[in-house]
Amino acid sequence: MSKIEAQHVDFHYGSFHALKDINMSIKEHEVVAFIGPSGCGKSTFLRLFNRMNDLIPDTRLDGQITIDGQNIYDRSVNVDELRKNVGMVFQRPNPFPKSIYENVAYGLRVNGIKDEAFIAEMVEESLRGAALWDEVKDKLKKSAYALSGGQQQRLCIARAMAVSPSVLLMDEPASALDPISTAKVEELIHEIKKDYTIIIVTHNMQQATRVSDKTAFFYLGQLIEYDNTNKIFTNPSKEETQNYITGRFG
Contact positions vs other proteins (CB under 8 A): 50, 52, 55, 57-58, 80-81, 83-84, 87-88, 90-92, 94-99, 106-107, 109-111, 142-143, 145-146, 156, 159-160, 163, 205-206, 209, 232-236, 241-242, 245-249
Q: How far is the CB of 10 from other proteins (least distance, A)?
A: 22
> Among residues 20 and 68, whose Cβ is nearest to other proteins?
68
Closest separation in Å from C-beta 186 to other proteins: 16
Sheet of strand 214-219, all strands in order from the earlier edge strand to the far edge: 86-89, 167-171, 197-201, 31-35, 214-219, 222-228
The nearest distance, CB 21 to other proteins, in angstroms, is 25
Compute the least distance from the CB of residue 28 to other proteins, in Å: 21
In the complex, minimum distance from the CB of residue 194 to other proteins, in angstroms, rounded to a whole number:
22
Half-sphere exposure of 239 (CA within 13 A, CB side): 1
Nearer to other proteins, 184 or 210 (CB): 210
Quote the strand ranges of 27-174, DSSP E. 31-35, 59-67, 70-71, 86-89, 167-171
User: Any idea what the Cα angle at residue 223 is, between residues 218 and 225, rounded to 5°?
Assistant: 90
- Is the CB of 52 or the CB of 174 nearer to other proteins? 52
- Of 162 and 189, the one with the shorter C-beta distance to other proteins is 162
From CA 34, how far away is CA 46, in angstroms rounded? 8
CA dihedral sign of residues 110, 128, 187, 94? positive
